[in-house]
Amino acid sequence: MLYSTQQIKEFSEKYKKYIGLPLEIGGATPKTLTREKLLPLIDGGLTSVRMGIESGAERTKKAYKRKYTNATVEKAANLLHEFREEIPLPRYDMIINNPLENDEEVVETLMFLTKIPVPYEMNLFSLSFYPGTELYDIAKQEGIINDDLNDVYRKSYNLFADGTSGKLLNEPYLSNLFYLLYVYAKNGRSISSKQMRSLVSRKSNPVKSRLLYFVMKNKASYFLKKETVTQLWANSMNGYRQKAENKHPGSGITVSERSVKSSGPVGYRSD
């Protein structure tokens, strides 16, 4: 989205005329996503947008060199939501498991995400420290990285779901709240700021927080199981369709498929 509005208009017209396939943008930023640029892209066939948010905590955003305010992010997300019929499931990149953050900063991001309109899909990534970056140097100084081979090169930035349980494998509680947001948002369900405030109050109000998380995690599990059943049904019917096509060409049996990632990586790498 770094191109000028005129360049985007020219591209969209040519793409629509000569290509005519669904269009996806994988590198939008909150500062460059504008209505003037989005409208011609939608006319050209835009159906999917991926945008990096990474964090809602002010100190963390500075460390990531993300020079935009939360208000700018919220404005961009609201713009995409306005065109939800054309772009039904925008994707937002988030970075978690940052050992340089404290719990208050993680909560700051969680609370901010309750303002993002649903539905959307969240790509969650575990922070990796790459040599040659300021964050890597800080992590070395802080003793977070002691062995580059294991702490950097063999460390995965992917996160994995614990089947359809509604939680992540081997991740702390606050990280699982991001996953809870992911499941709810993908299914068009929002988590209110009041609910999130209760969820993050494990120390000050443990009984209420644990009870609410138990209920909401089970609901997330229900969503995931429902998606898994839908996928299995679609796969079996498509297998039947393929057999029918092989046996009786032109039979025209079609079944829509729905992609889910209930037991695999929550996201893929964000450049």
What are 29-54's pLDDT values in tens digits?
999 999 999 999 999 999 999 999 99
The encoded tokens of residue 6 equal 């005129």
Using CA atoms, how far apart are residues 130 and 155, in angstroms rounded to an integer?
Answer: 11
> Region 214-225: what's the mean pLDDT?
97
3-state secondary structure (DSSP) of residue 192: coil
Q: At 266, is the pLDDT very low, low, confident or very high (cuts 50, 70, 90)? A: very low
Q: In the Cβ-directed half-sphere of 139, how many Cα atoms lie within 13 Å?
A: 22
Q: Is the pLDDT of residue 136 over 50?
A: yes
The encoded tokens of residue 232 equal 């299995």
Q: Is the pLDDT of residue 268 over 70?
A: no
Largest separation between any pair of C-alpha atoms in the chain? 67
Asked whether the beta carbons of 126 and 179 are under 8 A apart, the reply is: no
Instruction: Kindly report, residue by residue over 224-256, the tens digit of the pLDDT.
Output: 999 999 988 888 888 777 777 776 665 443 334
Sequence-distant (≥ 6) Cβ neighbours of residue 232 within 8 angstroms: none
When the pLDDT of each residue in the chain is averaged and rounded to a whole number, the result is 90
Instruction: Kindly report, residue by residue over 148-172, the tens digit of the pLDDT.
Output: 999 999 999 999 999 999 999 999 9
Q: In the Cβ-directed half-sphere of 174, how many Cα atoms lie within 13 Å?
A: 22
* Euclidean distance between the first and the last CA atom of the chain, given in angstroms as a whole number: 15
> Region 121-142: what's the mean pLDDT?
95
Q: What is the dihedral of CA 153, 155, 156, 159, to 10 degrees?
A: -170
The encoded tokens of residue 63 equal 């460390």
Q: Is the pLDDT of residue 270 over 90?
A: no
Stated as kind and residue range, the H or E segment containing 126 is strand 121-126
Q: What are phi and psi of 96, to 5 degrees?
A: -125, -175
Asked whether the beta carbons of 90 and 50 are under 8 A apart, the reply is: yes
| The pLDDT value given to residue 139 | 96
> Region 74-96: what's the mean pLDDT?
97
Q: What percent of the chain has a predicted confidence (pLDDT) above 90?
A: 83
Model pTM?
0.86
The encoded tokens of residue 85 equal 């019929």
